[in-house]
Amino acid sequence: MMGCGVFTAPTLWNDLRLHIRQAATLWNDLRLHIRQAATLWNDLRLHIRQAPTLWNDLRLHIRQAATLWNDLPLHIRQAATLYPPPTVEVGVVLPRSERICETPASPI
């Protein structure tokens, strides 16, 4: 036969000891400073909500930074970024190693 303690075990909420039943298990049971924690965007402090999260929110000098080719200063845009074509005088035949592309010779 089983002992009496097995049958009286706290299996239901009302059977639990009082200090356990009063534990903060629901939102309203939590302490006020925890319930007021910044859990939603509107709960965040104002200086955080106003942080530059979108392009238009960024400071003007950042938005005006040279992010596109046309925004770069002229002397940078005019820099030699591609291999400059060789200057060839008419009638001069380059050695095979210096030819850019092979084209059929035109009769001159």
All structural domains of the chain with their residue ranges: 7-76
- Write out pLDDT tens, residues 61-81: 666 665 666 666 776 666 665
Digit-coded pLDDT (tens) for 24-61: 566 666 666 666 665 666 666 666 666 656 666 667 76
What is the pTM assigned to this prediction?
0.15
Give the pLDDT of residue 70: 65
- Which of the residue ranges 6-10, 37-41, 90-94 would you say has the lowest mean pLDDT? 6-10
Using CA atoms, how far apart are residues 8 and 67, in angstroms rounded to an integer?
Answer: 74
- How remote is the C-alpha of 95 from its chain's centroid? 53
What pLDDT score does 37 carry? 60
3-state helix, strand, coil in the chain (%, to 5): 40, 0, 60
